[in-house]
Structure 1
């Protein structure tokens, strides 16, 4: 199994990982809840990103993001059970994700990640994924 790939053996289609996962290494749900909470603290005051969230309260978005990250990194498959396949590009298509929005997203995520106590290997692994995912969400170069 390649931990870097994000691929894990699971006990069913959306089941828990059967081998130690990144999710378990970083502390499970509490780690991802804290990371996402700190991320959305930045988003809440961002004039470009905040309008992209349909709910006035960022709580539902934070819960969806937490479930997604948990599942991706080897935790419970709750995201897929509740929402189906992640289809990240499709879900972000209605929003103008230009380089400015991407860079702001990355800034808030880096600030959040910098507050977390992770060993360098896990920090770099997580940042590498988040950076690549943010770049993949670009859907326009218009301002």
Structure 2
């Protein structure tokens, strides 16, 4: 990443972010802990994620320009996010980064940057919400 000013630039700008998002969400949809949290029509979620990650990684403020302040913790509060789900989310992202052939050092930088927010969104330790 030494030759780039931002993670956004290092991953290939908006096109690179889009490729990561396109590799990420099929993994999420197949993951038993994550799939129940997402709508069947995943495309609006993917579009917002690409806008957000662009901004989050130092690119243009695409998300804020369209939707206002991200307020990501508040937006995630309606969903039961456990520590296990945070780790599953990061694992899906790791797979998406690998699939896109990002250098190992850049993958670790991206995952480190995402790890804080992923764990910040944890709002429950309940792992068996389905139990009766």
TM-score range, shorter chain: 0.7 to 0.9
Tell me, in whole angstroms, the C-alpha distance in 1 between the residues paired with 2:120 and 2:107.
20
Task: Give 3-state SS (helix, strand or coil) of 1:42's partner.
Answer: helix
Tell me, in whole angstroms, the C-alpha distance in 1 between the residues paired with 2:85 and 2:124.
10
Matched with 2:24 is 39
Distance 1:87 1:118, change over 3 A: same
The within-5 A match list for 1:23-62 is 23-53=8-38, 55-62=39-46
Contiguous gaps of at least 5 residues in structure 1: 4-18
Matched with 2:80 is 96
Higher share in helix? 2
Tell me, in whole angstroms, the C-alpha distance in 2 between the residues paired with 1:24 and 1:48.
32
Contiguous gaps of at least 5 residues in structure 2: 128-132
Tell me, in whole angstroms, the C-alpha distance in 2 between the residues paired with 1:22 and 1:114.
16
Q: Which structure 1 residue ranges, 4+ long, deviate > 3 Å from structure 2?
A: none
Q: CA deviation at 1:84?
A: 1.0
TM-score, structure 1 normalization: 0.78
1:71 and 2:55 equivalent?
A: yes
Matched with 2:66 is 82
TM-score, structure 2 normalization: 0.84
Q: CA deviation at 1:24?
A: 1.9
Matched with 2:130 is none
